[in-house]
């Protein structure tokens, strides 16, 4: 029987990994396998890219507005 982890739990481990924690240390401390955490990290990447692209578009628009003012 496999354990079901909440999305918040998965997201927190993904964030810790992105901040520099190794898959091994996360697996040892929190319980899921390294492979499971690696899958969560891979699945989170497209979402993060979309969020970053959206933020970039906002910043570029703000920069353009500020350039016109100056």
- Dihedral angle, C-alpha 35, 41, 45, 47, nearest 10 °: 120
Which residues touch 31 (CB under 8 Å, ≥6 apart)?
3
* Number of residues that this document lists for the chain: 70
The pLDDT assigned to 48 comes to: 80
- Token look-up 């910043």 returns 59
The pLDDT assigned to 14 comes to: 95
The pLDDT assigned to 57 comes to: 97
pTM check: above 0.85: no
Over residues 36-68, the pLDDT tens digits come to 999 999 999 888 899 999 999 999 999 999 999
């Amino acid at each position: 029987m496999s354990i079901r982890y909440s999305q918040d739990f998965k997201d927190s481990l993904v964030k810790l990994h992105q901040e520099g924690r190794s898959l091994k240390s996360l697996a040892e401390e929190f319980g899921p396998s390294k492979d499971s955490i690696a899958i969560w990290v891979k699945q989170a990447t497209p979402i993060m890219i979309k969020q970053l692209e959206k933020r970039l578009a906002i910043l570029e628009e703000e920069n353009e507005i500020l350039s016109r003012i100056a």
